[in-house]
Amino acid sequence: MSASRYDCIVIGGGHNGLTCAAYLARAGRSVLVLEAGEEVGGAARTREFAPGYKVSAVAHLLHLMPPSLPHELGLARHGLKMAAERMSTIALSGGPVALTIDCAGLRAPEGLSASDAGSYLRYRARMQRLARALRPVLEAPPPRLGSRDWRDRLALLELGVRMRLLGRTDMRELLRIGGMCVQDLLDEHFESELLKGALAFDAVLGTNFGPRSPGTVFTLLYRMAAGSAAGDSLAQPVGGLGALCEALARAARAAGASIRTGTPVKRVLVRDDRAAGVMLESGEDFEAGCVISSADPRTTFLGLLGAEHLDAGFVRRLNHLRSHGMAAKVHLALDRAPSFRGVETQPPAGRLVLAPSQMAIERAFNHAKYGEFSAAPMLEIVLPTAADPALAPPGKHVLSAVVQYAPYRLAAGWEGERQRFLDLILGTLETCAPGLRDSVVAAELLTPADIEAQFRISGGHWHHAELALDQFFMVRPVAGAARYRAPVGGLYLCGAGCHPGGGVMGVAGRNAARQILKEAA
């Protein structure tokens, strides 16, 4: 083998690209990962945003990765440690009342709703049963529709059997609620607006939906299905999400993969209608038996491959792929620990959610429908330094918040509006943690447009492409590329844009590797 020829070239060293590379290398393939950035990790990277203050730059919570994956790759041996596990969710009201949701159930102040605590346990038990039935769907490549291959037929049959095993009552409930909006579901179960807001928030986080959008029970079940595989636990690695990717990179290297950073790929090279290698922006090229891209589908097919290699119908489907992001990120360097109203432990060790009611979320979403940011945005807040003080100088803190809703295309343009948006977010935080504003020594705002520019995710979308019923499973990202395989031979996808979607899960990368190995067998 010449130095510039590999069995597999992986474009992008985000967590999915690294996972895919590690599985392929462990199966004996020669693998080269080419990452455009100066570090691996993609949107799961830790970086310094102010002198001495580090933060998980985009994704900040680990809760979707199935335990089998770190176990199979030996990530603990490669340095992965958790700073916090089984983190609770604390629903902030913006006032003196907060409620805590964790594995044990619901802890609400006296009088919030006497009946909701019991309802919550029943609701969660049923949703978890439904989510568990869906979980195997995430962990395998989708079967081909209309195929006569026995493996596709068996996969469809297994899916049917799993649904049947739910029993009549749960199966009927899944059919009833599957396409519903989450607001209707939560209104059936609960009284407390604060509780309903916090639960609805998880259905819409990272999406272009509000609680009244059809299909949001599906997005909630998706999150629970992936999350239940991870043991229903929100976690924070020591050193942030970047430490997970460093461990993945070590695992891939230990298995024999080569990883190069600062090497943006310009083109996928096609020979005899097959992907035959890649050319870097520097002009250097590499040959490969197959090319696997963890870049988003639009970048992969229209940017790196080129529409000239695809049929018109496929290009039309790609052009219709919904992939504009709606979530922004804010990082604050704080010179002291903030104190949140209604929260017992300061600084809070859990995940704080400011989504005080379903109405508040829907109102926040209304602005975004018309290309505006929310006047009262919804927030997911983490204080990573509560569990991992080394992320900031001694005694100082970092606040990391996902801000929902911030449209990728702001009608007024982000450049002139970013300071106003940041001020609005700081004002919102101040109502929850009085005095916080005075403790801010540095602030960073990443809009979806910034995420596109800095992390090479076109549209800056959480999942690389909207996760919705019409862009899921056998049609993710689009029909014709649903089983990690591109219409051009030798080219595969392995990132968040393919099945089962995004979040720091690694399953797309592992599924893609398994599919490639199966095809070669």
User: Cβ of residue 377: shortest distance to ligand FAD, in angstroms?
Assistant: 12
CA 503, chain centre distance (Å): 2
- Cα of first residue to Cα of last residue in the chain, in angstroms, is 21
**Stretch in the footprint of ligand FAD (CB under 6 A) among 113-121, 183-191, 294-302, 369-377:** 294-302
201, 90 contact by CB (below 8 A): no
Number of neighbours of residue 225 by Cβ within 10 angstroms: 23
Residue 463 interacts with ligand FAD (CB under 6 A): yes or no: yes
According to the 3-state scheme, what is the secondary structure of 229-249?
HCCCCCEEECCCHHHHHHHHH
**For tokens 């990443």, what's the residue?**
446
Choice between 14 and 197, CB closer to ligand FAD: 14
Burial of 394 (0-12, 13-18, 19+ CB in 10 A): exposed
User: Cβ of residue 294: shortest distance to ligand FAD, in angstroms?
Assistant: 5
**Stretch in the footprint of ligand FAD (CB under 6 A) among 153-161, 183-191, 193-201, 494-502:** 494-502
The SS3 assignment for 490 reads coil
Choice between 317 and 456, CB closer to ligand FAD: 456
CA 173, chain centre distance (Å): 27
Number of neighbours of residue 167 by Cβ within 10 angstroms: 11
Residue 265 interacts with ligand FAD (CB under 6 A): yes or no: yes
Considering only 195, 451, 491, 516, the residue that binds ligand FAD (CB under 6 A) is 451
Residue 379 interacts with ligand FAD (CB under 6 A): yes or no: no
What's the rounded Cα separation, in Å, for the pair 486 and 381?
38
Q: Which amino acid is at 353?
A: V
CA 390, chain centre distance (Å): 25
Contacts (CB under 6 A) with ligand FAD, residues 14-43: 14-17, 34-37, 42-43
Residue 329 interacts with ligand FAD (CB under 6 A): yes or no: yes
What's the rounded Cα separation, in Å, for the pair 344 and 1?
61
Phi, psi dihedrals of residue 31, rounded to the nearest 5° = -130, 135
User: Cβ of residue 361: shortest distance to ligand FAD, in angstroms?
Assistant: 16
User: Cβ of residue 295: shortest distance to ligand FAD, in angstroms?
Assistant: 4
Considering only 32, 64, 257, 361, the residue that binds ligand FAD (CB under 6 A) is 64
**Stretch in the footprint of ligand FAD (CB under 6 A) among 126-134, 353-361, 437-445, 496-504:** 496-504
Count of residues that interact with ligand FAD, criterion CB under 6 A: 41
Considering only 20, 25, 57, 58, the residue that binds ligand FAD (CB under 6 A) is 58
Query: 298-327 mask for ligand FAD (x: CB under 6 A)?
Result: -x----x--------------------x-x
The SS3 assignment for 201 reads helix
- Beta strands in 314-451, from DSSP E residues, in sequence order: 327-334, 351-354, 378-382, 397-404, 440-446
99, 112 contact by CB (below 8 A): yes
What's the rounded Cα separation, in Å, for the pair 142 and 145?
9
Residue 224 interacts with ligand FAD (CB under 6 A): yes or no: no
Residue 189 interacts with ligand FAD (CB under 6 A): yes or no: no
Residue 331 interacts with ligand FAD (CB under 6 A): yes or no: no
What's the rounded Cα separation, in Å, for the pair 219 and 502?
12
**For tokens 């489907």, what's the residue?**
317
Residue 46 interacts with ligand FAD (CB under 6 A): yes or no: no
User: Cβ of residue 296: shortest distance to ligand FAD, in angstroms?
Assistant: 7
Residue 61 interacts with ligand FAD (CB under 6 A): yes or no: yes
**Stretch in the footprint of ligand FAD (CB under 6 A) among 159-167, 358-366, 369-377, 454-462:** 454-462
User: Cβ of residue 176: shortest distance to ligand FAD, in angstroms?
Assistant: 29
Residue 297 interacts with ligand FAD (CB under 6 A): yes or no: no
Residue 407 interacts with ligand FAD (CB under 6 A): yes or no: no
Choice between 33 and 199, CB closer to ligand FAD: 33
CA angle 310, 313, 319 (to 5 degrees): 85
User: Cβ of residue 170: shortest distance to ligand FAD, in angstroms?
Assistant: 27
Sign of the CA dihedral running 15, 18, 23, 26: negative
Binding site for ligand FAD (CB under 6 A): 11-17, 34-37, 42-44, 58-61, 64, 206, 264-265, 294-295, 299, 304, 325, 327, 329, 402, 451, 455-457, 462-463, 495-496, 502-504
